[in-house]
Amino acid sequence: MKLHSQFLKLHSHHGGAAEILVTLDELALTLGCTHRNALHVINKMSEQGWIVWTPSRGRGRRSSLKFLTDSETIALQSMKQAISSRDIRSAMEGIRGHARSSSLQDSLQGWLMSYFGHHFEIRSDKRIDSLRLPVNQQLHTFDPLYMNLLAESFVSSHVFDGLVGRGGERDDILPGLAHAWDVDDSRTSWTFHLRKDVFFHHGKVLAAEDVVYSFERMMTSSHRMLYNSIFKEIQEVKALNATTVRFLLKKPNELFLPFLCTSRAAVVPRDLESQGESSFGRRPAGTGPFKVAEMHEDSCVLEVFPYYFQGRAHLDRVEILYVPWGISNSSPETSSGFHIVTNPSVSDPSAWSRIHSESSVRKFVTFNTKKKGPLSDPLLRADIVSCLNADVETHGPQQPEPHPAALQIATIPQYSGDAESVAARLKRQGYTCTVLTVSPEEFKGPVRLQADLIVFSLLRDQDEQLRLFDLYLTLAQHIEPRTRADIEGRLSLISREPHFQARAEGFKIIEDSLIRDHQLHILYEKPTETAYLPSVRGVTFNSQGWVDLRHLWFPPEL
């Protein structure tokens, strides 16, 4: 790839002219190398057929260099090599530095369609099925305690298991590592009976002490975690014997069992400390259908765990690469290598089968009325909502009167586009807006209480009620005291309600009240849809609406 980079540097320096007259000294200066090395580089480019070099004798004499190929072709070759070697960062730098139009990205995406997807090879008379998947979030850790991103949770859900899991319906809960469980009349004592001979990836057999360690690790951690209001209600976790664990809650909480279905409540081995938390996050040992074989800055490789207690997965290997731009699929009939597309936009829908995962993403804005400032005025909040509801731009010479309120909008990088859109709409109506984008970890801190508007999202999946409980508890922190007390009171009632539908009605009352008081404004909601080619079998979804890799399979050509 170094030769590609040198060509691109040379081509860019000379403005893309088809032919130039140049000395070797000038070439050496451009390439940042010696006179001798510059000649070596030029000869290698000539051998590749990229240039024609006609030297002139004598030091200082100008020679002729003719470019036979364009920079985008070489950049595309370089990026293909970078992606094949999982050096995604180099590929991105190539796009940013050398794309003169959208054609380079279009060409690269066309190649990606065949690079990703299902591949197989025969090793020792055995068929090895592999799947390459792109994700648009960088993977940092798979440790349930430290995950921040959905892509990390997706991988983690295939590496770890919980005591229980989700069924097909939103309120169905099925056995996981525990084959059965009991709860007493007070709804505070929960006893789980573990399966026997369940293996972790490093060969250790699951025991009740692993469950105790996993939850005590969460309960004692100072790390801010999703759903921490649920597991902080655990008073004690105790191993009654090698296969029985009892949880004692401080008070009844009907969201406790749904919480145990989430990737946050995954069971980790109690000898984790011997490996170190940082190392464990990149090379974890779980009980799931796949184990992490490799973890790099921009990619990870999963390999099947053949001793999985719920049956071996059909795939043998999954390669997941961080690709920080969207992948469109405009020609599915010529791109059969790419088999699964999330939220597709295809020109020939008849070539694809489509399935909804019954999940969606809702983007919203909340108002910080606890902060002293203009948003304490309900009429101003109503005006802001009216501005955000306007779906047409103002035209003509008239400009809106400048509004004295200066608003700061806080969000995280994943939603910066939505935050900028909110700011643009408000600016058209005379508001002064600034957007503050911080990391997910920083966002959990005081930054929200210092902003006026907060742009965020809600994943409406099988864990929606847990997410809503977490959202409204967080939202209550930046709402004036009377409304906060009302929200917290309703959440307390919801946590004691055993029926799923009754809890849903309680959450709807909170939402309607916040919208009516202009404390919450929904920007839009986008359903999750997956398209796949007929060659893909076993397409099902996990609780978050991601394709469940354990059930995917590809029939061999006969």
C-alpha distance from residue 439 to each of 210, 443, 478, 554 (Å): 32, 6, 19, 39
Contact 358, 496 (CB under 8 A): no
Radius of gyration of the chain (CA): 28
For tokens 């919203």, what's the residue? Answer: 364
With a CB cutoff of 8 Å and minimum separation 6, the contacts of 75 are: 4, 8, 94, 95, 97, 98, 99, 104
Global pTM value = 0.79
- Torsion-angle region of 22 (φ positive above 0: left; ψ -120 to 50: alpha; else: beta): beta
| Beta-carbon count within 10 A of 167 CB | 13
Q: Which residues does 539 contact at the CB level (< 8 Å), separation at least 6?
A: 340, 355, 530, 532, 547, 551, 552
Whole-number pLDDT of residue 459: 87
- Which stretches of 254-352 are assigned E, i.e. beta strand? 290-295, 299-304, 317-322, 340-342
Please give the Cα distance from 357 to 133 (Å, whole number): 18
358's enclosing H/E stretch is strand 353-367
β-strand pairing of 432-437 with 406-411: parallel
Q: What is the spatial distance between Cα 360 and Cα 461, in angstroms, rounded to a whole number?
A: 7
CB 175 within 8 Å of CB 363: no
Phi, psi at residue 359, to the nearest 5°?
Answer: -130, 155
Question: What is the layout of strands, in order, in the sheet containing 299-304?
Answer: 117-123, 126-135, 317-322, 299-304, 290-295
Rounded to whole angstroms, the Cα distance separating 222 from 200 reads 27
Q: Are 373 and 452 in contact (CB under 8 A)?
A: yes
SS (HEC) of 48-62: CCCEEEECCCCCCCC
Tokens of 544: 């978050």
DSSP percent split of the chain into helix, strand, coil, nearest 5: 40, 25, 40
Cβ distance 142 to 282 under 8 Å? yes
Number of residues assigned to the chain: 558
Pair 366, 472: CB distance under 8 Å: no
> What integer pLDDT is reported at residue 337 of this predicted model?
36
HEC string of 68-81 equals: CCCHHHHHHHHHHH
pLDDT digits (tens, 9 = 90+) for 336-348: 334 555 555 544 4
Please tell me the distance from the alpha carbon of residue 329 to that of residue 387, in angstroms, as a whole number: 35
Nearest to 218 by CA among 233, 202, 204, 208: 233
DSSP run (H or E) holding 190: strand 189-194
**pLDDT for residue 331:** 35
Minimal CA–CA distance to 538: which of 255, 324, 340, 403? Answer: 340
Distance CA 111, CA 335 (A): 9
Question: Which parts of the chain register pLDDT below 50?
Answer: 99-101, 326-338, 346-349, 392-397
